Each structure stands twice: as C-alpha cells, then as structure tokens.
Amino acid sequence: MASAVVLLSGGLDSATVLALARAQGFACHCLSFDYGQRHQIELAAAERVARAAGATSHRVAHVDLRAFGGSALTADLAVPKDRSDQAMGEDIPVTYVPARNTIFLSFALGLAEVTESRAIFFGANAVDYSGYPDCRPAFVEAFEQLANLATRMGVTAAGPAERVRIHAPLLHLSKGQIVREGTRLGVDFALTWSCYDPVPAPGRAGAHGPWAACGRCDSCALRRRGFAEAGVTDPTGYAG
Amino acid sequence: MASAVVLLSGGLDSATVLALARAQGFACHCLSFDYGQRHQIELAAAERVARAAGATSHRVAHVDLRAFGGSALTADLAVPKDRSDQAMGEDIPVTYVPARNTIFLSFALGLAEVTESRAIFFGANAVDYSGYPDCRPAFVEAFEQLANLATRMGVTAAGPAERVRIHAPLLHLSKGQIVREGTRLGVDFALTWSCYDPVPAPGRAGAHGPWAACGRCDSCALRRRGFAEAGVTDPTGYAG
C-alpha cells in the first residue's frame, strides 16, 4: 500500500483531507503541531480523528512559533469576533502565522522522507482563506517543486510516478462543499475542532470535554456557514 | 539599515556567512536551532559568534526533528569516523537530517517576515556537502521562489528590489576558500564549533570549556583540511 503524510490539525478541513487520502487507498502517517496555540483541544481532536480514520500513525511535533510573535494564534492578541464578510475577506488576517504552512509542510517533508511517502496531503483552501499567501495554488506548486529538490527520494526519482506530490484537494472548494465531501466520506465532524477561542463549559460531555466553541471567531463563523450551506446538521456545541 | 536573517549554527561556515552579511551592511537577526543535536556546544558557540559579529539579535528556536529519527545527528546512531575522501563523497551521508535545510529556511522565513527582512543568509555548500540534496543551487533557487509566494512581503513586493532573496554566498567555495574569506573578514574561528562528536577534555580552558573536538568525524576532517588548504593556523583543540 502506498503511504502518505497527512497534515492534521483536528479541524473540519484536515479531517476531510484524511478521509480522502484513506479513500484513495493510502496508508496515512498523520502529523500535528504543538506550536503554542491556545487551543490544545485541537491536538486531542486530531488524535481522535486519526484513530477514527484508521491512520497508520499520528505524531505531534513541537515547534516554536512563539519566538516570532506576530499572530493572534500564538501571541497575546485578541481573536477577532463577529467580523463582517467584508472584514474577513480583506487583507491578511491577524490570525496569520508567519510562514506557518511553509514550516508545517517542511516537517511533513521530513516525515515523508523517513516513512518513504511520496504523497503529502494538506487542507489548504484558497476560497475561505484567500487572505493567507500560503493557501494559494502557486504556493502549493512551488512547494512541490522544492520538495523534489530537497529530498533524497525527490532527487533520485526515476520518473514522474516517483516524484513527491503535494495534494491539496480542498484548494478550490467552499466550506459547504468540504462539509458535503466529508459527510459523503463518513467523517464524524463531532470529533473535529475549529474554534480559535474555546469557552469553558463546565458539565458539558462529548468529545471535547468541558469546552464549547465560541461560535463567533472567524473559524467558527466559517464552520457554521459551511454546515448551513451544505444543509448538514452541525454537531458542534457552540457557546454563543 | 536593511535587515537580514542569518542562519547561524555556530560552525565555521555560518560564522563566515554572518561576517559577510555584516560587511554588506545588513543588521543581522541570527537564528539557531535546538533540534536535539548531541552537541549543545554548538548553540553556545553560536551565541558567542553572534555577539562578536555585532548581530542585532540572536534567537534559538526549539524544533523537534527527533520525531523523525533517521539521522546520526539526532538519533542514536554512531557518527562515522576516519572516512576516506571517497566514502565522504559517496551517497547521502547518515548525518543527513531529512528536510533539515527546508525546515530551517522555513523558520528563517517566518522570522524574516516578522523582522521585515528581505534577505536570508545561509551557509549551504555544494562542494563539501555534495551528498546533501538541500545544499544544491537548484534547491536554493526553489526556496527563493517559494519564499516570495509564501509571505505577505513576497506577494506584496512592488518590484525586484522588494523580493525576498536567499543568499548562499558559500555555495561554490571550497572549505579552504571559506577559511580564507572568514580570515579576511576577521572571523575569530576559535569561537566556532564544527565537531559532530565532542570529547570531554577536563581542565581545558577556552571558548568551549572542557570540550575538545574529536578530530575524526566528517565535519572535523573537513575543517582541518580547510585550514590546511588555506594555510591558516587552526585554533581548534582536537582530541585526536
């Protein structure tokens, strides 16, 4: 069985990507990152999602993005709430982590080399994340180019079939289409976590323990809209 | 003053790169990595080298390459000793860390974005490290391409002068030429550290405290040859 490395955040998108890779017959080595994000809940969600999908392995790499500051996801800035569509579409959001996808794909590449995986899957999306430079098709293509020059298996590839490929199957899908695709593949979205700013919810049971999604950050807003667009019931427990 | 990010291992090569960047007038933000390498001595050396060169800042990012295994620099494999030139030139050495330069440059890119640096300097060398895929000119070019697609400053660059540039000034130099270049620029090579496999040397004084370089690993062998080729006295305390 061919193997793949799958970047798995524990969110809705990467859970769908993992399901797609599994449906294509790949043995999947999942990789998550502990980069000092506020929401360690994500990592627990990633572990559950990996297990539910029958992943071959799941690793968490600790990386030190806090040294750079510059983002609401890693520094002590306020997560924006209740933003209009226009505000969400404008500029590069404060939740942007400098070079994050480049760093994450680089680690994926290292793991790909060690596990002899010629496929790397990740959930970049150019529709809802148009403000992030590293979620664009040209970025994905440039990384694939790099991957084949940076690695033993890339430089020794005998032909196109042996080249490293970066799969970004969600690149051109709307959030609603992603929810429909995940639903078709049997993803249990109740296991996934999207919120940037979890709210304590004492006594709440379920996959995420006593935590509720805020319901108001950009990530919650996109998630809610995705389920609404898809006409699929959202299993998320929102606080507001 | 234009600023630059300089990848600084604490070795002879990166100390020379930093001196070159300083000589070109850049304010230098140095970045070293703690990736579970055996030789933490390197990090202390990097700190001293940065200070001696008048760097603007020096950061150490902790990264987790051990999760991947697969290298004598991070796993528990023996460091090869006393290898012939032929053996050192053959294949990809066991000291190769999967995707290491890709990962290090990705962090440099994050720091470049935060410090608004359009220059990234690193000491890749295609002569003595011909076995490493990520020390080749095509790799450097591919990363520069990626850097300009992956970052805010890259995608908003108004013209060539604002593009991110990856400087690899040692790419085509022999170790002897690097030693000569460093000497010309006033690098104090006694502060630098190259050895993959330090030997305790109780009572020894000097920049590296009670440690001696083994004198026999590939990195020591290249260093010794570099000084010999350059006709420069090697200030290193070797054990053997």
Q: What is the pLDDT of residue B56?
A: 96
**Weakest-pLDDT range from A33-42, A43-52, A130-139, B57-66:** A33-42
Are the C-beta atoms of A92 and A63 separated by less than 8 Å? no
Which residues in chain A are contacts of B69 at CB distance < 8 A? 114
Q: Look at B133 and A150 and tell me if their CB atoms are within 8 Å.
A: yes
CA B226, B182, B110, A143 torsion: positive or negative? negative
Q: What is the pLDDT of residue A95?
A: 54
Mean pLDDT calculated for residue range A145-152: 93
Q: What is the pLDDT of residue B172?
A: 94
Q: Choose the mutation target among A74, A103, A109 for the interface with B, i.e. most B CBs under 10 Å.
A: A103
DSSP code for A66:
G
Cβ within 8 Å of residue B140, ≥6 positions away: B124, B166, B168, B171
Residue A74 has pLDDT above 60, yes or no: no
- Residue B112: closest CA among chain A residues belongs to which residue? A98
Pick the more confident residue, A63 or A8: A8
Q: What is the pLDDT of residue B71?
A: 47
Q: Choose the mutation target among A144, A151, A156, A163 for the interface with B, i.e. most B CBs under 10 Å.
A: A151
Assign A129 a pLDDT band (cuts: 50, 70, 90): low
Amino acid in the structure at residue A183: T
Fold of B3-193: Rossmann fold (3.40.50)
H or E element at residue A28? strand A27-34
Q: What is the pLDDT of residue A61?
A: 87
* H helix intervals, chain A: 12-23, 41-52, 85-89, 100-115, 137-150, 152-155, 175-184, 218-230
Which residue from B105, B145, B151 is facing A133, i.e. has the nearest CB? B151
H or E element at residue B52? helix B41-52
- Residue extents of the structural domains in chain B: 3-193
Quote the crossing angle between the two packed helices B41-52 and B12-23, to the nearest 10°. 20
pLDDT in tens, A88-111: 555 545 555 678 899 999 999 999
Q: Look at A146 and B154 and tell me if their CB atoms are within 8 Å.
A: no
pLDDT in tens, A197-232: 888 888 887 888 889 999 998 889 999 999 999 999
Strands A27-34 and A3-7 come out as parallel
Query: Residue A169: which of A35, A20, A49 has the closest Cα?
Result: A20
Residue A2 has pLDDT above 60, yes or no: yes
% of chain B beyond a pLDDT of 70: 85
Q: What is the pLDDT of residue B75?
A: 47
Which residues in chain A are contacts of B134 at CB distance < 8 A? 149-151
- Residue B102: closest CA among chain A residues belongs to which residue? A106
Which residue from B65, B133, B149 is facing A154, i.e. has the nearest CB? B133
Pick the more confident residue, A49 or A41: A49
Q: What is the pLDDT of residue B98?
A: 78
Beta strand ranges found along A90-200 (DSSP E)? 119-121, 165-167, 199-200
Q: What is the pLDDT of residue B18?
A: 98
**C-alpha span between A173 and A193 (Å, rounded):** 19
Cβ within 8 Å of residue A11, ≥6 positions away: A42, A45, A123, A192, A193, A194, A219
Q: What is the pLDDT of residue A205?
A: 78
% of chain B beyond a pLDDT of 90: 57
User: Which regions of chain B are under pLDDT 70?
Assistant: 36-39, 66-67, 69-81, 83-97, 128-130
DSSP code for B136:
S
Q: Look at A64 and B62 and tell me if their CB atoms are within 8 Å.
A: yes
- For chains A and B, CB pairs below 8 A equal 137
Assign A86 a pLDDT band (cuts: 50, 70, 90): low
Q: What is the pLDDT of residue A71?
A: 47
Q: What is the pLDDT of residue B85?
A: 65
Q: What is the pLDDT of residue A77?
A: 47
Pick the more confident residue, A204 or A74: A204
**C-alpha span between A165 and A148 (Å, rounded):** 8
Q: What is the pLDDT of residue B105?
A: 96
Mean pLDDT calculated for residue range A141-155: 93
**C-alpha span between A126 and A135 (Å, rounded):** 5
Which residue from A67, A102, A114 is facing B146, i.e. has the nearest CB? A102
Which residue from B63, B100, B114 is facing A63, i.e. has the nearest CB? B63
Q: Helix, strand, or coil here: A207?
A: coil
